[in-house]
Every structure is written in structure tokens, then in C-alpha cells.
Structure 1
Amino acid sequence: MIYPDGAVPAASATEFFGRERELARLHDLLVSPTARLITLVGPGGIGKTRLAAEALRRTDPGRPVYWARLAELDRDCGDSAENVLRSVVRTDISDPCSFDLGAPGHPGARSEDAILVLDNCEHVLAAVGRVVLDLLSGTSDLTILATSREPIGWADEYLVAVGPLSPAQSLELFRQRAELTGRPVADEPGQLAIVRRICRRVEHSPLLIRLAAARLWHQPPAMVLAELTGGADDQRMRWSQSIRSGSERRHRGISDVIAWSFDLCCADEQLLLCRMSVFAAGYETDGVEPQRNGVDLDAVVAVGADDLLPPERVAALLERLAERSLVCTFRTENSVRWYLVESVRLFAGDRLRRDPAESARLAGRHRRYYRDRVAEARSRWHGPAEETWLTWARTSWDDILIGIETGLAEPGEALIGLETASVLLSVWVPFVNGGSCSLARLTAAALEVTRDRADSPHRVRATALLGWFSLWEGDTERARRLLNDCVAGCLPKRAGNDSWRRNPETDIGLPPSVEWVRGLELMLFQLDPLAVMVLDRANRKFTERGDRIGIERAAVFTALAAAMLGEPAQADAITRVHLDRSVAAESSLSVHWAQVARALALARSAEPAAALGPAYSVVSGRFAVGDTWKASWSVAVCMIVLTHVLSGDPAAVGASAAVHARAGELAWLTGVFRACHRSMGVDVERVPMMVRGVRRATAVATAIIGSAEVAAAEHRGRQYRPGSVMVQQYLQRSWPIIRDPVVVPAVPGAERWDVLSPAERAVAVLAAAGWTNSAIAERRGSSVRTVDAQVASIRQKLVIGSRRAIAGHVPDELARTVDAERVASGRRGRRRPGSR
């Protein structure tokens, strides 16, 4: 059907929300003399037709508009579809001479600056392409506005991508549609939160939101959300059985929307789409780089390619599926990640499961791929390469968990999942990613499935590491039981005999992971200085096995235990050596924890103000958004250092007004500390070491500002949203900047310079010459985070409070080198603009 001259379908203008950016782009294109073909591209139900109608409604009212709905035409069938299209266009437009398609290029052809809308082109693409070519070559003023799930393919086609609604627009649409059912959504935070989650689960798609809102006729929002599990029991594909959305059959339900596009794909495209369903679903991110979204091409090839679908074809097929709006992409400056939104993943997964053997085979390949990638941490840990691995692990977290979860039905596959879990439990990713509870749950489930494989080393390691999680959660009984299970499994003769607990200094032959958890139990719950000995013993055993992850993990907690429980001399020696080794290894993660331990050790020394510099190094370092683990330890360092300074040397932070202010900050930090740990499932009140730190901080703050101010500040801290960058920003802005210097040891500057490692001296020279950390990293071929850590260590060792003070400590014999590097830095800065 073609609507008459100037008419725009009224139905298409209803319920229009947002799209200001797309409307502005369309306005510019519709008035441009060079934009002859404009195509709105996006998945089914995303609102392309409504967007076109709204854009035309806002254009020049005197401009002729003709609207051709093509949805009811049969799928592309060669010349017949083209003839039907030409016939429809030629006979239905009010002035046939304006669009004489039978004679393209005829001198009399005219279009009166008209706009022709070709709505829903994807199924008659070849015919539309030929007609568009004839129209645009035969008329000079015609503009064609097309809507399609993929581009038309004309050489000078302007594409406008139509994406999901914003969360706010989705909520508004849902509430408006809910009114139609007679079941309005209450203006209550809990109900609105549920609706926001529903909108996110249906990808903020207008059509899917309307279908979800229609379910309110049958059940409340909470039950609608419960139907959207994302798994095999997800109910959204059944919504179409009792719901109609408009008159077009392809929009009657979610399955119909996706099937319309799926049926247009070739066999290889359909095959790859089904195989992509083994990966985790992705989501639109509004241009913000997500913590986890999509997979790279290597993963798709490794899991989905075989003789039937050769590896060399996968990239082209992915691009074709993306053009068809079935596969989505997330792009950065130098990478592309591919994903299916949840609804498409469910559709494709249902098709894949029609062949159970093939579905199981693909799931197994997926599981092993992520097991192998996770296992790479064993060789990359405690060095510069760990950052790359950590970034990959964070972005791949959902797929890693899916690999573990889908293997729980069979013991052999569950063991593969346990191997994956044991590596993850060994590093910081679960806490960094906020996924510790999910990983712990899946690990426990895998241990149950593999209970008949008690001799597996993966089981022993995973059991011990699960005990670590239980310790942090404050679940002492579970941790004790898991540790007992490990001892019984490794040393059957000691089953039921607790004598090994009473003599921790005795080595009874436990594996290193079990020794390590035993040391943590002594440290966190018994506050026993012998924890240092046990953790150091675990370190030696990890070293004998060449376990880099274990070595680093044990070294970190040996230093932390020494810093918090050991004698001052022991704490000073262990934390100093650990920091030097970490800096030498160029491991930014290791340096962070070494700085934490060093600051804690100095806080307990005779001059607690000496900890202010190292503490600032901790909080001024970089950490990823959502890294609650690092944030919580940064808060802990500030809390403990301030506690010792305010109780032992308050003048170090200034006059009485400053002391009062810092006491208020200390009380606030106790609240933030609780909030951070609560978000990770850690109950501070159930972990004695944490209880001791918080209580002492509260007591010191109370002695200075009183209980009322402490309670108010602590309450404000509890309201802080963990995982946000605001915690780090606050600490970097407000943490006491040390007065340069706060404590000046009786050590000449030259001797302090000699304390620096060779790598640190090289970095210090460049820093003194004015090179930025990023420029130093580029010059030295290392990461920015490594240089950040080195500069922080330099400042600590030179006992200075700012980077600028480094120049004052460079020996005279290196002055010319600094001058030369300063000149080089200036040349580098002048070259940069022209090099782009």
C-alpha cells in the first residue's frame, strides 16, 4: 500500500519516545541534496517505522511524501517481486508521471522534491535495490527513505542505525502500555526497579517492552520478571500465544520477530547463529565500555568452527549476521566484540538444542576453550602480562561461569569446571568482578557432582580455596569443615584428628593450598602471629611446585600477616623485601598489595606518620571500575593508618581543626569499609581481624569528636555505593597529602637514591625530566600501570610527597642525563600533533 501525497501513517506516530540524536541526523539528511537514499537499519521491533514517521512529521509540511508498506509482499522471488513493487509504486501514487518506473531516466520524469518511504525492505531486498537504482537515476529531486533490518546495498546509501531505547524511555513506554492493560505500575521504588529490570532483560526494544507490559493483564511485574530467566525455562517466546501487537504476523511475538530475520539467512549464517548461542548474552552499553560484553573473533572460531563451518569463513559470516541485525557488536578503538542479545540467544539456543548431541558438543568446546584461557594465568601471573589476562577475565566472566555451570550434569565435565574455578579462586577476579558468590556457588555444586573423584587434585585445591571464601564471608564453621575435608582427603590417617590444628608450627605434609588456607584461618580468626610462619611455609611449597599464582598469593598474605600481627622488626623486613620484589617483577597488582602491606607495617611502627606516604601511594593507584576488592583494601589502609596516626602522632595531619576533620573522615571510612565488604558478601562483624580494626578506629575517632559525630559519619559511609569510582576519587582528593616531608629520616639524599632499583632509577630520571607516566611507559615498553607503581615506590623510598620532588634527589652525575631527557621530552611533545 502507498499512502497518498503528504500523508504519514497515523498509527506510526503513537508512543514515540526520545530518539533525538537519530531525528537530528535524519533532519540533516532529508534536507541534504546529496542524500538520495537513507536507510534506517535495526532489528525487528526496534521502532524504525515510528522513527521514520516522526522524522517526516517534523519535516517541511509542503514536501510531498509517499509511503509504501512492503511487509505484505512475498519474500524475494526475483522479477515477480520487482514487478509487483513497480506496479504498486506506479499505480498508487497520485501523480503517476512523477514516478514512471517503466521508463527510468526519461526526460519528463520528475519528483517535485518528494520523499518516498519504502517500509520493511529486508525480505525483498534485490527487487528494492533495482527499483531504487532506476528511481534515483531517473529523477533528480527524489529522496528515498527506507526501513530495513539490513542495508539496501546502494553505493551512496546513507545508513542510520536504530538502537534500543534508553532505560528512562523504556520505563516510560512500559508504564504507558501498562495503563492500557488497566494494571498501572505504581510510582513506588520497588516496583519501578522491577520494571527497569524487565526492560533490560528485553533489551530495551519497544516491541518487546509492549509485549512484556501486556503480560500485566495476567500477572504482576515481579512474575513477569520471573519469566525472563535467560535460560531454558525462559517464557518470553511463549508470550505470542495470547498477545497480539499490531496486525503484522511477524510482530505478533518475540519468536516471530526473530524468525522473520532468521529465515532470510543462508544455511551457514543460520548454523553460525545457532552456535553463537553457547556464548553468554550481551547488551547495549550506550558507548560505555562494559565489564563484560561479547566475545572476540578468536573465541568464535575456536568454539564454532569445524569442517562444516571452516574457520576462514567465520569472520565474513559474523559480519553478514551483524548486517542482518541478528548479531550485535561492541567496538573499541582497536577491537570488535560480537554478541547475541538475550532474546536472539534464546531463539538460536532453542534451534541448537533440537540436536542434543550437537548442543552438548558445542557446550563442551566452549567449556574447554575458557578452561584453557583461564589456565593461562598460571604462566602470566606476577608480571606485566597479568594485566592483559585480568582484563580478558573480567570481560569474559559471564562465559567463564556458563562454562562451569553447563558442565554440572556430568562428573567428567564438572571436573573441567572445577579446574577453571580453582584458578579463578586463586586470583583476584571474583572479588574484582563482584562475582565471588556466583563462583563459590558453582564451585560447591561442582564439588558435589564430583564427590566420587576424591583423588582429583582439582577437588582438593578447589575445596581449600572455597574455604578461603568462607573465611572472608565469616562462616567459620563451613571454613573449618572444608579445611578438615582437605586434610582428610590428603592425609587419611589424620581424618577426625584435630591435633594438627593445635600445632601449626609443625609441617605435617599438607599441600600448599591447604597450608595457605590454614594460615588465613590463623590470621583472620585467631589473630595468631604463627600465621606468618604457616603462610611462609605455603609459599615455599608453592615455590617447589613452580606455582606462580600460589607463590604470589602466599607472599601477599605473608606480608599482610606480618604487617598486622608480626613484631615490628619482622613486619618491616618482610614488607620491605616483598615490595622490592614486586616492583622488580613489574606486576602492578603485586605492587598494590605490597604497598598495602608496607603501609600497614609502617602504621604500627614507632613513627606511624611514616605510613602516610605509602598509604597515599595505595589510594592514588589505578583500579578498574567495580573493583570492590581493591577499593575495600584501600579504604582499610586509610582507616588503619589514620587510626594509628591520630592515636600516636596527631600533629602529623595538622592543627586541632585538621585533627578533628580527619577523625570525622576516619569514622566515615569505617562505614565505607562495611559497605564495600557487604557488597562482596563479607560480614565484617564475623571476621575478628576486621572487627578489631573497625572497633579501634571507632574508639579513636570517638575520643576526638564524640560518639554522636562518629555515628553520623559512619552512617554516611554506609550509604556509599561500592564499586563506583567515587570511592577512589574521594580518597585521592581528600586523603591527607603529606607535607613534603612529614618525617625526614636521617638519611642523605644520595643514599636514598641508592635504595632505588636500577629500573626505578631509570624511571626516576625520566620523571625528573618531565616525562609523563604514559610517555615513560611507551619509552620503556611497559604498561602505564607498571610505571604508576614504580613512581609510587620511588616516592615512598625517597620519602617525598609529590612527583615533582624527584628532581631534587637525582645525583649530580645524572644532571646532564636529566637535561637531555627534558629536551627529548619537549621534542616528543612538538612532534605529536603532526604525527596524527
Structure 2
Amino acid sequence: MRGIESTGPSAGDSSRPGRTPGNLPVELTTFHGRDGDLDRLRQCVSRSRLVTVTGTGGVGKSRLAVQGARQMQERFCDGVWLVDAATVRDPRLLEHSVVAALRLAETSGRAPRTTLLEQLARRRLLLVLDGFEHLVEESARLVRTLLGRLPGLRVLATGRRPLGIGGEQLFPLAPLAATDAAGLFADRAGAVQPGFALTPDNRDRVADLCRRLDGIPLALELAAGRLRTLSLPQMLERLDDRFALLTGGTRDAPAHHQTLRTAVGWSHELCSPRERLLWARLSVFAGAFDLEAAEYVCSGPELPADQVLDVLAQLLAQSVVTREDAPSGVRYRMLDTLRAYGAYWLAATGQTRRLRERHRDWYTGLVTWCELEWLSPRQEAVALRITDEFANLRAALEFAVDEDEDPRHGLYLAGTLWFCWVGCGRIREGRHWLERALEREAHEPPPGAVGAAGDGGVRLRALGLAGYAAVLQGDTVAALAALHECREEAERTGDDRAAAYSLLRLGSLALISDDVRRAEELLAGGLARYEELGELNSHVLIGRVELALAVAFGGDLARAVELCEAVRRECVEHGELWARAYALYGLGFMAWSRGEAARAGALLREGLAISAGFQDLVATVLALELLARIAVGEGRAREAAVFQGAAQRLWPSVGMPLFGSRYFDVPHRECERLAREALGEPAYLEALREGAALDPEVVVDRALRPGDGGPAPVRRPQAGPSPAGDGASPRPYPFPGAGEAGYGRGLAS
């Protein structure tokens, strides 16, 4: 988030005992002054359902809003949730970003706005919409709709201009008062020059500096960073020159805008030519980035890759770039205002498109490598890396899908990210990108030949994945159309991988449609095609679990157990966790069908701990349903009803409850009947309501508790080695996989 140097555990993480739900970042620097502003902001939020903090860039809007929201957490039983709108470039993704920030599942065929309205209908929460100014119209429409339909919602927004909708309470934020400005400067100066403090000898100079920078926090922090190389008298002398040189604004521009431009421009002028060059080139990154990405994307004849680190360190020392420790490792970030300033200079040099192409190439290479590492012991590290890189992946997708001269780049990138869409709970957004890439390719044929890889594999891969996304969302018509087209074209062109994949996914559709015999036939056919290719990947493992379920639904439990046990062994051998969760669900279902309730519960909890860590809602809600049935059989009827209530709330985000399948519905109906009998109607309905009101993470942690012990932890993805395995960087390809084994692999791995 702009102005907040943090990506650590959420201050409002509901998975931590005693904490209110939410996702506010952990503060790494102290908050100075503004006590009166905080008091007034809390009062405004108490009186008005929409409060917008306005002010010039760098004045501290984001920091004030987050600090105020943190102090108001206890007022909102369903938490305080931050949406960083500044990183959303495409207006069409604003609602997706709100859904993701609120940790609502994205596997439903419904529009994201519908998901928000349905899932927040009974919640009482504060939404902090930060940095919306480049998406004013879209933000205003969304906020107006949400506030009009959700009585328990309040919105605290920050931007350089109002949203301009009815009921909006404006909160103009002025620069820091003299005392607070001096305190902020001294604090930040002490961080870069140990021992620095306000003294009788420097107090007047500090006051003069703060006054001439108009008390704008960003300007003060930049000035503090220069104490590494300049004394206070030197800064004041140079500030005189730079103000005169860099005012540059129109006469009718707000004074604070001119002041901020002066502060940023002054810092820019004090940089060396190589530092300015790197500053401009770093502006192509969205959100945080790592050193390897900066070395590849930003290097060139004027700045060799092996010198990027030293120049980056200088920008870090000057507070142009900040460092943060993310789950996947050390990352760097530029404040939004500084990024925009760098982008201006990059455009002035005419290098914007070239840098965006290099950015696309780097993230295409990263995604390709991550896909290769997905079926490995590094799967958790891949999931973490993809999560940390998602803002940059979106930026790469936006360029590849909308602006790239060759539409195959977008097809390749969207298709290769299947493990993010399916494995990490982003089905809805994945389908969005896949369909956009397919639509553009259909209207703009690729220019010339790609080489040995050809075009068909890339397109069919994206087409098959779009069909599978539709299957998971319950969109049968779209799923059938995409998968049949994929299969027919694959057979016509001899693309065996696409043919195998389409058979598997048609089998998935038949399974949830209760056509068990047809499902078994299609799944077995697809698996046989993969076996002929000698290929093992996560699609194959999931297909085998689905085949086992089809066999179990057909009555052959012994064979079904054998199939699932084989999948579990393969997963353990290869370090595959995501598919293992589904194998454990299958084994749990079969154990329950055999009357082995204790074993079934242990298997389901083991799988649930994995799937919840990956944020895979499909596997999560299936496990909750069956754990509810086991609980009622063990005499824990109220707990069973709570789990059913939680599942009832989650199913609309997945699609049709229990896929509309009578086979998946059997334990649900039995659980409901037994719980009603044990509790009575009023108590049963009360427990349902309790479960529906619980945060999903709370429900999962509750479901993982063994009967006589403490909570069993969710298996959260753990940081590990680089997805490149031995510490090597992922290889970026100038064109996705041209001449590489990773390209044209169709629907492999």
C-alpha cells in the first residue's frame, strides 16, 4: 500500500486468536502526530457511511486512513479490510480486487459485484478503498451500489479528489503542523543517521526545512534520506536552487501540488544519471518487485545487470525505493507518486514500450518456470511467489492481452498461469483473462509464424482451461462449447495433449452432472491418452481422483480406494500438495461410505489443512460438508449444523451447491435430517446462522480441531527455495518459449 512499508502478517488476521478479522498491514515505521485528525476522522466515520480523505499526493492520506481504521477495528465485528486500488490499472478489475482483498472466493460464475452483495449482506465491516483517483467513475459506481444494498458497510476512501456521490463526507487533509513535521523528520533522519535528534543547534534549521517543504510527509521523508550524503545546511542551500529551478507548475495549480513536485523533482535532480535512469525504468513494475526482476528488466548498455544492485542500493538509501520482507523473500517497492514521476521521465525517453516488453518477458519466464516447478516439493514456494507477484502478473497480462502486437503472448501467459487460477483460488479472474485473450486472438490473427512450436497448442490450452473454469463455475453451456471445440480441433490437428485434457474435463463435467458411467469413460480415456504420452502432471492426478469418485459412486469402493491411494503415493513422491488434498477427500469419502468415521475424519482434516492453505474453496467446502456428516454421527449435532451453515454461505461462491449432484448431496441430506432430529428446529436454525456468520478461516480452524486436543493448524504455504530450485533465476524468454521445451507443451503439467 502506498506509504505503508509492510507486507507482513495482517494486523487484523482472523486466523490469529483474539484478533478482529481484516487485512491491515503491520506498521514498520512509527506514526507521527495528527492526533486531532485521527479524532475527527473517527467521528466522521461514526456519523457517515462514506468518508473520503482528500489531499495532494504525499500528504499522508493512506497512512492516516490505515491508522484511523486500525483504531476503529473493534467497532466492526466483521473486520476492517484494505483494498489497494492504486495497483489496479484496468478499471474492469476493480471489483475483482475488492473480492480478493476481502478474501471472498472467486470460483463463482456470478459477477464479482454480485458476490460482494450476496456475501456481505449480513456483515458489519469497514472497507478502506485506498488510492482510487485513477478509477474515480468505476469506484463511485461500485461504492454507491454497495452502500445502497449493504446496511452494515461503511467505506473510508482516500484519493486526490472526491468520489462525488450522495452522502459523501469529505475529509480534506492538510500538511503536518510544524511540531509534527519536525518530529517526523527527526524520526526518519534518526533511522538513516543514527544518533540524529532535534537539538538547540539544529532545531531552527529543521523548522526552516519543514516550513519550506510545507510539512508534506513524503517531502520530509525524502529530505531525511539525503542526510546520508548532505548536511542540513547543504540541504537548505540546495533546496533554494531546486525550488527556483523545478517549480514548473501552472499558476492556477494547487500550491501543494507544486510543492510536492518540487520535493520529488529535487530528489530526482540530486540523483546521478544512472540513478535517474533506474528510477525511470523501475516505474514499469506494479507493486513490489525483486532484485532479479529489476536486473533483467532495467538493465541495458547504459546500466549493465551486474551494476543494478549498487544503483538500487543508492535509490534505497534516498528513500526513492523501500525494502520489504515478503513471504517469498526480500522485495522492493516505489511509492506511487515516485513511480508516476519515473514513468513521466521514461515516456520522455521513448522507452516505455520497450521496458513493458521486457517486463512481460520476465514474468512470462517466471510463470513458465513456476509451472514446471508446480509438481515438485517446491509447490508451496511457487504459490507464495505467485501471490507476491500478482500485481506484476496482472500488469504483464494487461500488456500481453491488450497491447502486444502478437496476441499469442497473452494466450500463452494466461494459459500457463492455470495453476494460479485453479490451484490458488482465482478461477473467476483466470476465466476473465483466458476469454479476453481468446477473443483478441479470434479477431486479430497472429502476425507470421511462431516457429516449431506452432500456434494451435497455445490456443487450445487456453480454450481448454476456459472450459474447465466454466465447469467449476457451473456454467455448463459455456463449458460444453469450449471443451467440445477444444477436443474437435485437437483431434483434427493431432494435438494429443489438448485432446487428453479436453477428455478429462468433459469427464469432470459428466461427474458433477451425475452421468457416472459417461464420466468414467471420459476420464479413463483422457488418462489413457496422457499415459500414451508418458506424461504425469497435476491435471492427471486430479483426473485420477475424479475417476476414483466416479467408480465409488458406481458402487466399487475397493477399486476407488486403490485409485486414490495410488494418487496419494504419487503426490507424496513428487511433493504435490494441491492434488493430494483432493486424494485425501476421496479417501475420506470412501472411508465414510464404509462406516469408518474416525478414519474418514482424520483424512478429511489432513486434506482440509492443505486446501485451506492454498485458498482452494472447492476442496475446502467439500471437506466441510463431509466433516459435518461425521460430526453429527459422533453426537456433535450442533457442531455439524455450524459446519453446514458455513458451507451454505460458501457454496454460492463456488457455484451450484454440491454441484447439483445427488451423489455429493447424500451426506448433506443425512446430516441435515439427523441434526434437526437431535437439536430441534429452532436450535438447528440458530446453529446454521452461527456458521454462516463465521469467517471462513475461523470455520476451517474450528473444523481442524481433534475431539480431545487443541487446534490443528492450517498448512499455510511456506517460503522455500526459489522456484528455480537451486537458486538460479527463472529464465525470461524474448518470446514465450520460442525454441524452448516449455512452449507448445499444450496442456501439459
Task: Give the TM-score category using the shorter length.
Answer: 0.5 to 0.7
Aligned residue in 1 for 2:476: 476
- Counterparts of 2:472 and 2:131, CA distance in 1: 35
What TM-score does the superposition give when structure 2 sets the normalisation length? 0.59
Compared CA separation, residues 51 and 326, structure 1 to 2 (3 A): farther
Equivalent residue runs for 1:529-540 within 5 Å: 529-540=517-528
Answer whether contact 2:601 2:630 (CA < 8 A) is retained: no
Which residue of 621, 630, 636 maps to 2:622?
Answer: 636
The match for 1:424 is 417
Pairs within 5 Å for 1:3-22? none
User: Are 2:433 and 1:442 aligned?
Assistant: yes
Read off the aligned partner of 2:556 and give its amino acid letter.
Answer: E
Tell me by how many angstroms 1:551 deviates. 2.8
Deviation at 1:243, TM superposition (A): 6.7
Identical counterparts, % of pairs: 19
Q: CA–CA distance in 2 between the matches of 1:262 and 1:593?
A: 53
Residue in 2 aligned with 1:169? 68
Alignment CA distance shift 1:314-1:379 (3 Å): same
Structure 1 letter corresponding to 2:516: D
Report Cα offsets for 1:682-716 as digits up to 9, x if no partner.
34376436666644543343343344333322222
Counterpart of 1:145 in structure 2 is none
Cα deviation per residue 1:353-373 (whole Å; 9 max; x = unaligned)? 3455x2222112211221222
Encode CA deviations 1:523-558: one digit per residue, 9 max, x unaligned: 112342442342233233234433534333433433
Deviations 1:114-162 (A, max 9, x none): xxxxxxxxxxxxxxxxxxxxxxxxxxxxxxxxxxx9xxxxxxxxxxx99
Give distance in 1, aligned partners of 2:568 and 2:399.
41
Q: For the Cα contact (< 8 Å) 1:167–1:199, is it kept in 2?
A: no
Q: SS where residue 331 of structure 1 aligns?
A: strand
Secondary structure at the counterpart of residue 337 of structure 1:
strand
1-structure distance, mates of 2:708, 2:157: 56
Tell me how large the CA RMSD over aligned residues is.
4.7
What residue number does 1:670 align with? Answer: 644
Matching residue of 2:594? 605
Q: Which residue does 1:518 correspond to in 2?
A: 506
Using the alignment, how far apart are the partners of 1:693 and 1:441 within structure 2?
34
2 CA distance for matches of 1:481 and 1:603? 36
Mapped to 2, the partners of 1:388 and 1:195 lie a distance apart of 30
Cα 1:692–1:386 change in 2 (3 A) is same
- 1:196 pairs, out of 121, 125, 128, with 128
Cα separation, partners in 2 of 1:380 and 1:306, compared to 1, 3 Å: same
Name the structure 2 match of 1:276.
282
- Structure 1 pair 172–264 and aligned structure 2 pair: CA distance change class (3 A): farther
Amino acid at match of 1:719: A
> Which secondary structure state, in structure 2, belongs to the residue aligned with residue 309 of structure 1?
coil
Q: Distance in 1 between matches of 2:601 and 2:527?
A: 29
Which structure 2 residues correspond to residues 664-703 of structure 1 after superposition, within 5 A?
664-679=638-653, 682-684=655-657, 687-688=660-661, 694-703=668-677
Q: Secondary structure at the match of 1:308?
A: coil
The residue aligned with 2:687 is: 713
Please identify the structure whose Cα radius of gyration is greater. Answer: 1
Cα gap change, 1:672 to 1:53, in 2 (>3 Å)? closer
1: CA distance between counterparts of 2:301 and 2:316? 23
Structure 1 residues not aligned, in runs of 5+: 1-17, 20-41, 55-148, 150-160, 174-188, 203-209, 226-237, 282-293, 495-506, 654-658, 739-773, 784-836
Contact 2:507 2:519 in 1 (8 A): yes
SS at match of 2:704: helix
Question: Are the aligned partners of 2:541 and 2:567 in contact in 1 as well (CA < 8 Å)?
Answer: no
User: What pairs with 1:156-555 in structure 2 (closer than 5 Å)?
Assistant: 164-165=63-64, 167-169=66-68, 196-198=128-130, 215-216=161-162, 244=254, 249-251=258-260, 255=261, 257-281=263-287, 294-331=288-325, 335-355=329-349, 358-410=351-403, 413-425=406-418, 427=419, 429-430=420-421, 433-451=424-442, 452=445, 455-491=455-491, 511-545=499-533, 546=535, 548-555=537-544
For residues 32-61 of structure 1, give each alpha carbon's deviation from its aligned partner in whole angstroms, at most 9, with x where no partner exists.
xxxxxxxxxx99xx997x68999xxxxxxx
| Residue of structure 2 in register with 1:591 after alignment | 580
Offset at 1:378? Answer: 4.3
Amino acid at match of 2:502: V
Change (3 A) 1:416 1:700: farther
What displacement does 1:620 show? 4.9
Residues 326 and 388 of structure 2 are in contact (CA less than 8 Å); yes or no, is this contact kept in structure 1? no
State the SS of the aligned residue for 2:331.
Answer: strand
Contact residue 532 and residue 566 of structure 1 kept, 8 A: no
Distance 1:166 1:222 in 2: 16
Q: Determine the C-alpha separation between the residues in 2 that align with 1:438 and 1:240.
A: 42
Q: TM-score, normalised by structure 1?
A: 0.53
Task: Answer whether contact 2:538 2:579 (CA < 8 A) is retained.
Answer: no
Q: What CA distance in whole angstroms lies between the structure 1 residues aligned with 2:530 and 2:157?
A: 56
Shift of 1:273: 1.7
Q: Which amino acid aligns with 1:532?
A: E
Alpha-carbon distance, 1:644 to partner: 5.9
Q: Residues 461, 710 of structure 1: CA spacing in aligned structure 2 closer, same or farther, 3 A cutoff?
A: farther
- Report the number of matched residues: 512
Contact 2:295 2:305 in 1 (8 A): yes
Alpha-carbon distance in structure 2 between the residues aligned to 1:343 and 1:539: 52
Aligned-pair CA distance for 1:240 = 9.7
Distance 1:640 1:693 in 2: 7
Residues 639 and 345 (structure 1 numbering): CA distance in 2 closer, same or farther, change over 3 Å?
A: same
Structure 1 residue 718, shift from structure 2 partner: 2.2
Whole-Å Cα distance in 1 between the matches of residues 496 and 298 of structure 2? 48
In structure 2, the partner of 1:728 is: 700
Structure 1 Cα separation of the partners of residues 170 and 362 of structure 2: 35
Q: Provide the secondary structure at the position in 1 that maps to 2:294.
A: helix
- Measured in 1, the distance between the counterparts of 2:547 and 2:314 equals 54
Amino acid paired to 1:421: A
Write the distance in 2 (CA, Å) between the matches of 1:508 and 1:266.
Answer: 55
Q: Is the 8 A contact 1:579 1:598 kept in 2?
A: no
1:797-816 alignment, distance < 5 Å: none
Query: Once the 2 structures are TM-superposed, how far is the Cα of residue 441 of structure 1 from its aligned partner?
Result: 0.8
Give the partner amino acid of 2:300: D
**How much has 1:511 moved relative to structure 2?**
0.9
Quick one: distance in 2 between partners of 1:510 and 1:306? 39
Query: CA contact under 8 A between 1:602 and 1:611: conserved in structure 2?
Result: yes
Cα pair distance change 1:514/1:432, threshold 3 Å: closer
Tell me how far 1:470 sits from its aligned partner: 1.0
The Cα of 1:623 is off from its aligned counterpart by 5.1
Alpha-carbon distance between aligned partners in 2 of 1:687 and 1:634, rounded to the nearest angstrom: 17
TM-superposed deviation, 1:395:
1.4
